[in-house]
Structure formats: structure tokens, C-alpha cells
Amino acid sequence: MLVNKLRNLNYKFVSEQAVLDKGKCISLNHYQKELEKRNLGIWELFGYYDPKEQKVYLCEENISERSKKIAKNLNYNETETYAILRELVRLHEHIHAYTHQEIREKFLRIPSTISEPLTEFLSYCTIKNYEDEYYRQKYLAVFMEVDKNHPKYYRNWRDILDVVIDKNQGLKVEYFCDNPSQHEKAIKIVFQVVMEIIKDLAPNPSFNDFLKEIESTFLCRAVAYAMEDT
């Protein structure tokens, strides 16, 4: 399972609950209006992480409904698409929980304009590092399909990938996410470094402040982590 990749990052899995009735899930009938009104991303339709309870909730009905549409768009099998989408929702929500564990009380002070693209970025890197080629492609395709329906600030995750961290070599953050030859270590470094960076951000940070921090400290922190590990 994709979400198991978080186990290698010292993440202590929080409990998870499938919501089979409506619960706190946004109804699919109103979702377009709700998402726009509250500027929410599409993942919010499929699940949520409750930081008070430290628990992940999965909106089963919405996942099931939406996966039919995604399966149609991608010409995938419906049952398989449902399983893939559900796993991607789990990944997204557990990355929020992981972030909470790493930066503790600061978690609630990180604006969603940073935490959402950051979660998307980490999800993308996790998928890119998934060993099984067949499922890696499928996870990626469904992830990209969902990504099309996000508000702009969610899609800023691509800007994180594009940050140049070594001008001489033209090295981008993306390198660390797309490096299957030493994936376990590279992905661990990515998670650790971005957590350190958001933990140290000044109050009321903007997404650009965050990007600038990545640009100036990513590489030296990554090297420090790599050395620590050897």
C-alpha cells in the first residue's frame, strides 16, 4: 500500500475511520458550491484530518461516486480506480497527520496556502517513489486527474518541485523526488527537510516565503541529513 511508505519516515499512524453515512463529509450535490465558497481542494470532499482528535476520516460515498467519473475519464476499471483514489485520499490525510506530529503546535498556524500545496508535493514524491511500476503509473494518473479540480493554491505544489537548489548544477528539488535508484533515502530527506523548514518559518508566512526558504536552505539541510544517516 502506498500509505505504508510513511512508515519509513518514523510516522506513527493515527487511527482512521470510514464515514459511511454523511457525517461531516461535504455532500456531493453541494460540493462545487461549497468548495468554491470555502476555496477548498477536492481532497476535502473525500476525507479530512481532525487535528484535535488526531484522526483521519474517509468519506466513502464521495470517494466511490467520484471514482466512477475518474475511471471514465481515464478509461480505467471502476473498482480499481476506487481503490486507487481511496489510497490517495489516505495518503493526503495521513501526510497532514504526519506534519502535525512533526511540527506539533505549529501545525495549526501553518496557513492552508502552504500546508495544502506542501501535502500535494509530498504526496507526489511518495507516489514517484512507489516501487511497483504498474501502480505507480496508475496512482500518478489518478492524482493528476484529481489535481485538475483543485483551486490554484493547491496546484502550487509544482512550484516546490521547480525550485532550483543548486544553480551550478541546475539541480531542482524534483531530483530528490524522482530518484528511484536511492529512493528510500532521498524521500526521507525530502520529508525531513521540508518539515524543518516549515517548523522554522516566521509567523504568518506566505507561500513565497516558504519557497524562498526552500531555495536557500534545502540543499545544505539535505546534505546534513544525508551525512547524519551514513
- Which residues are at the interface with Zn ion (CB under 5 A)? 43
| Min dist. Cβ of residue 51 to Zn ion (A) | 11
Q: Which of 126, 82, 83, 90 is nearest to 17 (CA)?
A: 90
| Min dist. Cβ of residue 215 to Zn ion (A) | 24
| Min dist. Cβ of residue 171 to Zn ion (A) | 28
CB atoms within 10 A of CB 116: 26
Looking at the Cβ atoms of 43 and 57, the one nearer to Zn ion is 43
Angle (nearest 5°) at CA 204 between 188 and 214: 35
Looking at the Cβ atoms of 11 and 43, the one nearer to Zn ion is 43
Looking at the Cβ atoms of 39 and 179, the one nearer to Zn ion is 39
Looking at the Cβ atoms of 93 and 174, the one nearer to Zn ion is 93
- Residues 46 and 66: their CA atoms lie apart, in Å, by 9
Looking at the Cβ atoms of 43 and 82, the one nearer to Zn ion is 43
Looking at the Cβ atoms of 85 and 219, the one nearer to Zn ion is 85
| Min dist. Cβ of residue 201 to Zn ion (A) | 18
| Min dist. Cβ of residue 123 to Zn ion (A) | 9
Phi then psi dihedrals of residue 92, to 5 deg: -60, -50
What would the DSSP string read from start to end of 8-47? GGT--PPEEEEE-S-TTPPPTTTHHHHHHHHT--THHHHE
Strand order in the sheet with 15-19: 15-19, 55-59, 47-50
119 grid coordinates = 501535502
- Residues 220 and 140: their CA atoms lie apart, in Å, by 29
| Min dist. Cβ of residue 112 to Zn ion (A) | 7
Share in percent of the chain as helix, strand, coil (round to 5): 70, 10, 25
